[in-house]
Amino acid sequence: MRRGPRGIDAAWLIAMAHARSPLLLVFLLAPVFYLLALIGFPILYNILMSFQEVTLGNLSKLLRPFVGLDNYREVFADPVFRQVFVNSLVFVGVNVVGQVTLGLMAALFFAETFAGAHFLRGLLLATWMLPGLVVGALWKWMFASQYGVVNFVLEALHAIGGPVHWLSDPAIAMTTVNIAHIWYIMPFSMILIAAALTAIPLEQYEAAELDGAGPVARLRYITLPALRPTLLAVACLVTIYSMRAFDMIFALTQGGPLDSSNVLPLLSYQFSFQQFKFGIGAAVGTFAVVFVFAVALVYVRTLKHEARA
């Protein structure tokens, strides 16, 4: 390596160092190719399988008989798929509304000045760190009809007349899954919203107060407009996270009873690994992939707008 007298040809050395940027390129491409190989490729492979007849016999072969849209036709004709598709929309919708609303309320509350505000807010994030399987098991115990603590408390408060069958009543199971998942991920949404909240300049509030704006007006005309891009980004992230929910639902209800709390990724997994209908599973999966990808495009656009603003 060439080593010039210090300072004399420093500029030249710096230029040389920048010319060594092939290292940077390797650094950039290594993780990107890793993700392309281990996420991008499997997703494309999944799309390919959705047009093929895949059996346990030809599982390891690349060339399998193509069946056109047969898998999709079978999927769309299946009433279970239609129900699960609606379930997924409900699950995502309730989570977006629930987490953004509760997350915003919690973030606004913890933005007040009082002892322990930051510590207590941070403590909530503990739920987000837990394994999904544990969250599912935990709520299954909380929601148990006979000995569960939820029914006990609600009965003690006279909020319910008799035990609610949170997990075994098809009309209620989806609500149960929603409650557990909002509990699980909401603190993460809250932290993201809280970060955007502290970025709003206090001068805006001072000026508004001088103009006689009350708390509602300040929320309506300063806080909410300033948070708009963040709330949209959080809504997208919650959609993405909710579509990834698998471990928790698997432990809590397994999608039951009668698929009443089933969602698309879980249904796809069940087709593939419980019924060994890999082609059907792939078709359901591709359907979910297209949905998630569309949301992801909105998310990336939102981030770009926010970066520019």
Partner 1 sequence: MNHRDDGAARRMPKRTRRIILAVVAFAGVAVYLFPIYWMLISGFKSSAEIFANPPTFFPSAPNLDAFRSVFVQENIARYLRHRVIIAIPVTALTLGLGAMGAYAMSRIRSRLVDVALVTVLLLQVFPEALIATPMFIIFKSIGILNTFFAVILATTSKVLAFALVILRPMFLQVPSELEEASYVDGCTRFQAFWRIVLPLMRAPLAVVGAIAFAQAYGQFVYPITLLNRQELQPGSVGIYAFIGAETADWHRVMAFASIYVLPIIALFLLLQRNIVSGLTAGALK
Binding to partner 1 (CB under 8 A) within 187-226 occurs at 188, 191-192, 194-197, 202, 205-206, 209, 214-215, 218, 223
Closer Cβ to partner 1, 8 or 77, answer by number: 8
For position 298 contacting partner 1 by CB under 8 A, the verdict is: no
What residues from 57 to 116 belong to the interface with partner 1 (CB under 8 A)? Answer: 59-60, 62, 108-116
Which of the residues 128 through 187 are near partner 1 (CB under 8 A)? 129-134, 136-142, 144, 147, 149, 152, 156, 183
SS (H, E, C) 11-76: HHHHHHHHHCCHHHHHHHHHHHHHHHHHHHHHHHHHHHHCCECCCCCCCCCCCCCECCCHHHHHHH
Burial 19-54 (b: 16+ CB within 10 A, else e): eeeeeeeeeeeeeeeeeeeeeeeeeeebeebbbbeb
**Which one of 54-62, 67-75, 77-85, 90-98 is the stretch in contact with partner 1 (CB under 8 A)?**
54-62
Residue 60 CB, nearest approach to partner 1 (Å): 5
In the complex, least distance from residue 253 CB atom to partner 1, rounded to whole angstroms: 11
Least Å from the CB of residue 258 to partner 1: 15
Q: Are 150 and 143 in contact (CB under 8 A)?
A: yes
Pick out residues in 275-294 that bind partner 1 (CB under 8 A).
278, 281-282, 285, 288-289, 292-293
Q: Hey, what are 142's tokens? A: 């909380």
CB of 18 to partner 1, least distance (A): 9
What does the angle CA 105 – CA 106 – CA 112 come to, to the nearest 5 degrees?
100
